[in-house]
């Protein structure tokens, strides 16, 4: 970093780095299984990737390997095409925001933000200017003289974000930065992170176990499972065409319904649904049907192919309503519909599948 140009932080630089993980293996000493099992992922410059997965699937490990905080056992990690295996953390030029509050408690907010610039030998005058700008970016320039213990969790994470970004790192890594915050703050801060990321054009990896959060902020979401990437794609692609039952289950809500797969079409209770995965062998399957892919039909207009059942519960979710229906064969499904449709417990109802493609898994006969 040069100390000459006090250029504004707040500008789209568009010089984000490409990041590639190729067959990365990480096995913690003493652990029987691999935390990362030949993980491969390639990230375009300026892209915002979310790593999504259940607890223990290796999200943090992947991020830490990328940061250089964990040594990997095999594979390679490249930033801008250069293998960084032998580059220590402090030379990788990354910015990191941790899940735990990590502001230096003995420094003021401003000193915290200046720290990275100081490490890069930026002159004191430039440091102050750039740190102020970074704080303005997260809307906290008025708290520059505070200490960490004088701020809320959300404010601390904002400062941590400013601190990570002020050096204009090549890659920004965020490990569940919002998980310690309450729901409202979480939503507003994740939008802010996305806005700032877009403005700076910085390649970003965001770890979360919250699928809603991942879908809301990322350009692409990588769903991880047991140290591998199960599926990677845009939020829409993941939601609409989950390639595996795991993804269908993890991203959004799915109803599991018995069906029969024959040459690419799954027959569920008389309704025909295209299968997303063409490689599945014919036979009995569990189809994963989204709550919004079922609609209520008036009982008197019900066709023979429609499914009947009784209402078990219903909940109002603001802009929509979700009703749980017990089908005649005791399967429980949940159906999403408009708030104007209302049901009472025990109402007899008929459901029709909209015929959108579904993921499915074979049922062991």
Binding site for another protein (CB under 8 A): 67, 69, 88-91, 93-96, 98-102, 104-106, 115-116, 119-120, 147-149, 153, 160, 163-164, 167, 173, 179-183, 186
Nearer to ligand ATP, 146 or 209 (CB): 209
Find out whether 113 and 165 touch, Cβ atoms under 8 Å. Answer: no
57 binds ligand ATP (CB under 6 A): yes
60 binds ligand ATP (CB under 6 A): yes
User: What minimum distance in Å lies between the beta carbon of 159 and another protein?
Assistant: 11
User: What minimum distance in Å lies between the beta carbon of 237 and another protein?
Assistant: 28
Identify the CA nearest to 194 among candidates 168, 170, 215.
215
Name every residue whose Cβ is closer than 8 Å to that of residue 69 and which is 6 or more positions away in sequence. Answer: 89
316 binds, among Mg ion, ligand ATP, another protein, none (CB under 5 to 8 A by kind): none
Strand order in the sheet with 74-79: 36-43, 19-26, 74-79, 82-83
Identify the CA nearest to 144 among candidates 117, 192, 109.
109
Nearer to ligand ATP, 56 or 355 (CB): 56
Token pair in block for residue 183: 């729901």
User: Which of 17, 39, 61, 110: binder of ligand ATP (CB under 6 A)?
Assistant: 61
71 binds ligand ATP (CB under 6 A): no
Span of 43-51, 60-68, 296-304, 351-359 interacting with Mg ion by CB under 5 A = 60-68
Rounded to whole angstroms, the Cα distance separating 297 from 349 reads: 8
Rounded to whole angstroms, the Cα distance separating 118 from 297 reads: 66
Identify the CA nearest to 269 among candidates 306, 299, 303.
306
60 binds Mg ion (CB under 5 A): yes
Residue 39, Cβ neighbours under 10 Å: how many?
A: 26
Nearer to ligand ATP, 56 or 274 (CB): 56
> Which residue's structure tokens are 């591998």?
228
Q: Under rule CB under 6 A, how many of the chain's residues touch ligand ATP?
A: 12
Strand partners, 325: 311, 333
User: What minimum distance in Å lies between the beta carbon of 28 and another protein?
Assistant: 11
Strand partners, 232: 222
58 binds ligand ATP (CB under 6 A): yes
Residues forming contacts to ligand ATP in the complex (CB under 6 A) are 28, 31, 35, 53, 55-61, 209
């Amino acid at each position: 970093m040069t100390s000459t140009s006090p250029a504004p932080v707040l500008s789209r630089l568009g010089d984000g780095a490409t990041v590639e993980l190729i067959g990365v293996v990480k096995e913690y000493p003493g652990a029987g299984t691999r935390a990362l099992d030949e993980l491969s992922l390639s990230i375009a410059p300026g892209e915002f990737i979310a790593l999504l997965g259940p607890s223990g699937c290796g999200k943090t490990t992947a991020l830490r390997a990328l940061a250089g905080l964990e040594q990997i056992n095999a594979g390679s990690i490249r930033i801008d095409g250069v293998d960084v295996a032998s580059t220590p953390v402090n030379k990788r030029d990354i910015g990191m925001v941790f899940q735990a509050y990590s502001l230096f408690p003995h420094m003021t907010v401003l000193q915290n933000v200046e720290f990275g610039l100081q490490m890069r030998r930026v002159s004191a005058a430039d440091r102050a200017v750039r740190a102020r700008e970074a704080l303005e970016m997260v809307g906290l320039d008025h708290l520059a003289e505070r200490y960490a213990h004088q701020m809320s969790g959300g404010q601390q994470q904002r400062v941590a974000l400013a601190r990570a970004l002020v050096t204009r790192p090549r890659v920004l890594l965020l490990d569940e930065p919002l998980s310690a915050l309450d729901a409202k703050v979480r939503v507003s801060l994740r939008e802010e992170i996305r806005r700032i990321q877009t403005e700076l054009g910085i390649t970003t990896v965001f770890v979360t176990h919250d699928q809603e959060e991942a879908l809301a902020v990322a350009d692409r979401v990588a769903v991880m499972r047991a140290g591998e990437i199960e599926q990677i794609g845009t939020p829409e692609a993941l939601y609409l065409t989950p390639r595996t039952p795991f993804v269908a289950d993890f991203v959004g809500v799915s109803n599991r319904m018995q069906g029969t797969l024959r040459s690419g079409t799954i027959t569920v209770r008389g309704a025909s649904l295209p299968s997303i995965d063409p490689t599945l062998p014919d036979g009995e399957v569990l189809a994963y049907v989204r709550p919004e892919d079922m609609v209520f039909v008036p009982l008197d207009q019900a066709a023979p192919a429609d499914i009947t059942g009784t209402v078990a519960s219903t909940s109002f979710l603001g802009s929509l309503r979700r009703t749980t229906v017990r089908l005649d064969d005791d399967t429980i499904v949940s159906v999403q519909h408009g708030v104007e449709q209302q049901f009472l417990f025990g109402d007899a109802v008929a459901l029709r599948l909209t015929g959108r493609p579904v993921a499915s898994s074979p049922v062991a006969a």
